[in-house]
Amino acid sequence: MFVNIRPGKRAGLCLGGVIKMFRNFTPAERPVFVFQGGGFFVSATVIGFPKKRRLKNASAIEAARKPYCEYSGRPGYSHTHHVRPKSLGGDDIPENLISLNPEVHQAVHDGKIDRRQLILIVAHREKLSPEEVCERIGEPVPSEWPDYAPPDPPSWEEILQLLLSLEEAQDDCKWHQGEILASLVECGVSQRAVASEIGKSASYVRERVKTWRAFPEEGTRVRELSWQHHRIAAKTDDPQDWIAKASDNGWSTRDFERAIKEARNPSSALTQEEKELKQAEALFAKLEEAVAKGGPAGKWLLEKMENLLYELGVLKKRVQASA
């Protein structure tokens, strides 16, 4: 990259352009110039940009995750987002991390949400001025800030109350409940503690969390099937495949459970006669194996079988004689 700076009146204009360019960078990121030549004009060559080592801290990222979205204030599953992107050297520090739900997170990356709003949220949370946040994360301070009031985070009691209010609601609300429970668990709250607070068993919480994790996105669910169908499918090794089978076959929850049981244990689908025949075949195979091994057990079995065959022969003759 070359910047030609002419002497005299026009030099100020060119130099002003360079200064404007410099303002787009923080001091740590400004390009390094080498000036060469003389006479009518001077060439300024950018020889590189100083490389800032990004501060990495996995525990800080995990600690920044909340059981709610800091942008919308809505309880539920969230992602940890870097206000200043990692690609620009954004550090893993509290001032640069914010918890956003998947929809908001995607909107931020799509440029649909003003990044300055995220800085205001972080400033409110960390009890800093927006300018201080910008300084700590290496972000240029905007010339003006949007008229935006960050939402207050929901309290622990409010989250629990929401869970209880969703208990008797429709299937859609059960998904929301599962999302909140999963977010609490992933934030380090034990399933037993949550269950105790809402008056449920740990297995209840575990089931809700497992079902939501199996079908976290609305597009992975089958709308014409109930939440119970998805709960049953979540217990299998391939929930997506099984929920598709349930939809294709129009299974009720009872039919669905029976189909899964039969797939896991094919013998459960046999008739009583077929089951008895299989048992007889298995028994005969064991007898053959024992006889083949020989020894006292094999000899004893042979004697018993010979006696049995003899008695069967006698019985057969009696039947024929009576006929």
Residue 187 lies in a domain: yes
Residue 285 lies in a domain: yes
pLDDT at residue 267, rounded to an integer? 60
Q: Are 73 and 165 in a shared domain?
A: no
pLDDT bucket at 211, cuts 50 / 70 / 90: very high
Nearest-angstrom CA–CA distance, 65 and 188:
10
Tell me the per-residue pLDDT of 78-103, one tens digit each, with 9 for 90 and over. 889 999 998 888 999 999 999 998 88
- Is 258 or 23 the better-scoring residue by pLDDT? 258
Residue 146 lies in a domain: no
Is residue 181 a contact partner of residue 208, using CB atoms and an 8 Å limit? yes
- Predicted model pTM: 0.52
Three-class SS string for the chain?
CEEEECCCHHHHHHHHHHHHHHHCCCCCCCCEEEEECCCCCEEEEEEECCCCCCCCCHHHHHHHCCCECCCCCCECCCEEEECCCHHHCCCCCHHHEEEECHHHHHHHHCCCCCHHHHHHHHHHHHCCCHHHHHHHHCCCCCCCCCCCCCCCCCCHHHHHHHHHHHCCCCHHHHHHHHHHHHHHHHCCCCHHHHHHHHCCCHHHHHHHHHHHHHCCCHHHCCCCCCHHHHHHHHCCCCHHHHHHHHHHHCCCHHHHHHHHHHHHCHHHHCCHHHHHHHHHHHHHHHHHHHHHHCHHHHHHHHHHHHHHHHHHHHHHHHHHHHC
Domain span at residue 276? 272-322
Residue 257 lies in a domain: yes
Q: Are 197 and 237 in a shared domain?
A: yes
Residue 145 lies in a domain: no
Q: What is the mean pLDDT of residues 130-148?
A: 91
Is residue 262 a contact partner of residue 268, using CB atoms and an 8 Å limit? yes
CB neighbourhood size of 285 (10 A): 10
Residue 53 lies in a domain: no
Residue 24 lies in a domain: yes
pLDDT bucket at 198, cuts 50 / 70 / 90: confident
Q: Are 129 and 163 in a shared domain?
A: no
pLDDT at residue 128, rounded to an integer? 93
Q: Are 262 and 285 in a shared domain?
A: no
Nearest-angstrom CA–CA distance, 78 and 180:
10
pLDDT at residue 40, rounded to an integer? 44
pLDDT at residue 299, rounded to an integer? 83
Q: What is the mean pLDDT of residues 256-262?
A: 88
pLDDT at residue 31, rounded to an integer? 53
Q: Are 200 and 245 in a shared domain?
A: yes
- Is 16 or 310 the better-scoring residue by pLDDT? 310
pLDDT at residue 168, rounded to an integer? 58
Q: Are 106 and 119 in a shared domain?
A: yes
**Of 41-50, 75-84, 210-219, 246-255, the least confident:** 41-50
Phi, psi for 224 (deg, rounded to 5): -75, -10
pLDDT bucket at 47, cuts 50 / 70 / 90: very low
pLDDT bucket at 11, cuts 50 / 70 / 90: very low
Is residue 243 a contact partner of residue 215, using CB atoms and an 8 Å limit? yes
Nearest-angstrom CA–CA distance, 40 and 37:
9
Q: Are 230 and 244 in a shared domain?
A: yes
Q: Are 202 and 127 in a shared domain?
A: no
Annotate 31-58 with b (16+ C-beta within 10 A) or e (fewer). Answer: bebeeeeeeeebebeeeeeeeeeeeeee
Residue type present at position 75: P
pLDDT at residue 17, rounded to an integer? 54
- Counting the structural domains of the chain, the total is 4
Q: Are 237 and 318 in a shared domain?
A: no
Task: Look at residue 226 and tell me whether its pLDDT is greater than 80.
Answer: yes
Q: Are 299 and 257 in a shared domain?
A: no
Locus of tokens 């954004």: 90
pLDDT bucket at 26, cuts 50 / 70 / 90: low
- Domain of 242: which CATH number? 1.10.10.2830
pLDDT at residue 3, rounded to an integer? 44
